[in-house]
Amino acid sequence: MGFKATNAQLLSAPPYIAGAISAVVVAKFADRVHWRLPFIVGPLAGLMIAYAVLFTYSASIANHVALCYTFIHLATISVYPVVPGVSGNPDISKIVYWPHISSQANTWTVNNLAGPEKRGMGIALMIGLGNCGGIVGSFIFIGDESPKYQTGWGTALGFICGGILSASALEIVYKWLNKRRDAIPESDTRARYSETELTKMGDRSPLFRYTL
């Protein structure tokens, strides 16, 4: 964009401030309505729009500084709420069968895994795979493609589309499983399994309901 030294450093701060505020606000709304999908897909859609605009003007960004700087704000406002937007602290007293949302602490993933071992592995896997994004990002913006960087922008947009499809598919599967389990009377389940067996089954228990 042509900014240098102190001005460049100062202008890098507002987008991150906007992203931080957005993360907190969106997470609060997600906890209030107890529904995660809109707060994942919505920000990802906003991120897609921001990246599409930045991709379009990346070759002539010096001539569209105000426009691109605005959409950089939209990008950070959109990307930062995705993880907090799926956060929520399960009701520990009911974690075996009925996960409930109360405050920011764990992710949508953790809420839908029962048992400390499975939750621990689930969150570790999610964070580990997520951190691989930094490795991918280091290689997709190829110097020889400057200033367009079509591989980088195209890959980023592809991951956004993948995120939207994955979250939507997960929501559909969770609803289907909950509906299937709702059809089984609780009395039948308790007559068939002991309390110990149900606890060991974790999120595979017929009494467990997935958090949407």
pTM comes to: 0.82
Closest-CA residue to 44 (of 165, 129, 141): 165
Residue type, position 199, single letter: T
CA dist 143 and 160 (Å) reads 23
Evaluate whether residue 150 is within a structural domain. Answer: yes
CA dist 153 and 166 (Å) reads 20
Evaluate whether residue 129 is within a structural domain. Answer: yes
Evaluate whether residue 99 is within a structural domain. Answer: yes
Q: What DSSP element (H or E) covers 171?
A: helix 150-182
Evaluate whether residue 30 is within a structural domain. Answer: yes
Evaluate whether residue 212 is within a structural domain. Answer: no
Model confidence pLDDT, tens digit, residues 47-92: 999 999 999 999 999 899 999 999 999 999 999 888 765 444 444 3
Evaluate whether residue 188 is within a structural domain. Answer: yes
Enclosing domain of residue 120: 5-204
**Contact status, residue 167 vs residue 208, Cβ threshold 8 Å:** no
Model confidence pLDDT, tens digit, residues 102-128: 333 346 888 888 888 888 888 888 888
CA dist 11 and 69 (Å) reads 9
At 121 the pLDDT is 87
Based on the structure, what is the number of domains in the chain?
Answer: 1
